[in-house]
Amino acid sequence: MARPVTLFTGQWADLPCETIIEKAKSFGYDGVEFGCWGDHFEVDKADAAYCQAKRDLLAKHDMKCYAISSHLVGQAVCDNIDERHQQILPDYIYGDGDPEGVRQRAAEELKKTARAAKEFGVSVVNGFTGSSIWHLLYSFPPTLPGQIDKGFEDFAERFGPIMDEFQNNGIKFGLEVHPTEIAFDIASAERALAAIGNHPAFGFNYDPSHFGYQGVDYIEFIYRFADRINHVHMKDVSWSEHPTDAGVFGGHVDFHNHKRYWDFKSVGRGDINFEKIIRALNDINYTGPLSVEWEDGGMDRDHGATESCEFCKDIDFPSSDIVFDEQFDR
């Protein structure tokens, strides 16, 4: 049976919830992954009546939701908070902007998100963690002994209780391994897992686009964390084979600028090998949705979301239930 192909609504938060559901259906999707911003899924309103109304809305359009995502609030749990966060957080989370207050309110909101997911009837919440040590990525001036350890300890102290709440509600968390998070490649993902004591509720929202341009083996990630892949984003990226003005770090150059070394692309138009990804997902028996996170600054988004859906459905295939060469002696 083919995996459901869904559309992550986070990049469509300017549209009302029903509008993006209607659009996703017209594009060919089987369902959506609601972002917890705009009016798509509002955690502060997610009581029984609200969640039932969302389910009814989905059923009206013959659509399903398999996961919700709290990337923006999650970012504030471990981050060094500054005025940038005000533009991505609800007013009731940002408040007066006092950094520790923001972090504490964001942590409580993630706990509420786990309870809301249970009420809504999904088993996965995707998101970010933020990081108190991202600014130490390039170690000059040299990092001091223990600085990186303290960052992972801070993550564990803040996310441990959140993951306990997830586990109590039967919900899995999927960290989208990504620059600016506590885990942004295989090595840091392993360290994050260890820091949080391999908490059973903690896993990953696999997204290959954040690995390819870094030079990280995005196929090995699937095998290395086979029992922790809680959700999958289908998102593409291209990177240059030739010298560019702005390298891996981006050069403070906006997306969709020819000076960049890498840029996100509509699914199937970048450098990610999705054939290998599907085979690896088959090998680890991942049966969850393939959720398109569509980003391409050079393409109309309705067109891009439609072609991305078609691409994902075309490239997905079920794993084999036989060993082909066992048939030779029959």
Cis peptide bond prior to 141, omega within 30° of 0 = yes
- pLDDT of residue 217 exceeding 70, the answer is yes
Lowest mean pLDDT among 51-65, 77-91, 173-187, 310-324: 310-324
Residue 16: the pLDDT is 98
User: For 63-84, how does the pLDDT look when each residue is reduced to its tens digit (9 = 90+)?
Assistant: 999 999 999 999 999 999 999 9
Give the percent of the chain with pLDDT over 70. 97
pLDDT band at 321 (very low <50, low <70, confident <90, very high): confident
Residue 323: the pLDDT is 64
- pLDDT of residue 1 exceeding 60, the answer is no
Residue 83 tokens read as 């005025």
CA 153 to chain centre: 23
- pLDDT of residue 330 exceeding 90, the answer is no
Alpha helix locations (H) across 79-135?
Answer: 91-94, 99-120
- pLDDT of residue 329 exceeding 70, the answer is no
* CATH number of the domain to which 129 belongs: 3.20.20.150
| Span 169-193, average pLDDT | 98
Residue 320: the pLDDT is 83
Point out which residues pair with 199 in neighbouring strands: none
String of DSSP letters for 22-87: HHHHHHT-SEEEEESSTTS--GGG-SHHHHHHHHHHHHHTT-EEEEEE-HHHHHHHHS---GGGGG
| Span 97-109, average pLDDT | 98
Q: For all residues of the chain together, what is the average pLDDT?
A: 96
Residue 324: the pLDDT is 61
Structural domain harbouring 70: 5-329
CA atoms within 13 A on the CB side of 189: 28
- pLDDT of residue 327 exceeding 80, the answer is no
Give the percent of the chain with pLDDT over 90. 95
pTM, 2 dp = 0.96
CA distances from 253 to 109, 244, 304 (A): 33, 12, 23
Residue 328: the pLDDT is 60
- pLDDT of residue 114 exceeding 80, the answer is yes
- pLDDT of residue 150 exceeding 70, the answer is yes
Number of other residues whose CB lies within 10 A of the CB of residue 100: 8
Q: How many domains does the chain have?
A: 1
User: For 42-51, how does the pLDDT look when each residue is reduced to its tens digit (9 = 90+)?
Assistant: 999 999 999 9
Residue 124: the pLDDT is 98
Residue 297: the pLDDT is 96
Return the H-helix or E-strand segment holding 193: helix 186-195
User: For 247-295, how does the pLDDT look when each residue is reduced to its tens digit (9 = 90+)?
Assistant: 999 999 999 999 999 999 999 999 999 999 999 999 999 999 999 999 9
- pLDDT of residue 2 exceeding 90, the answer is no
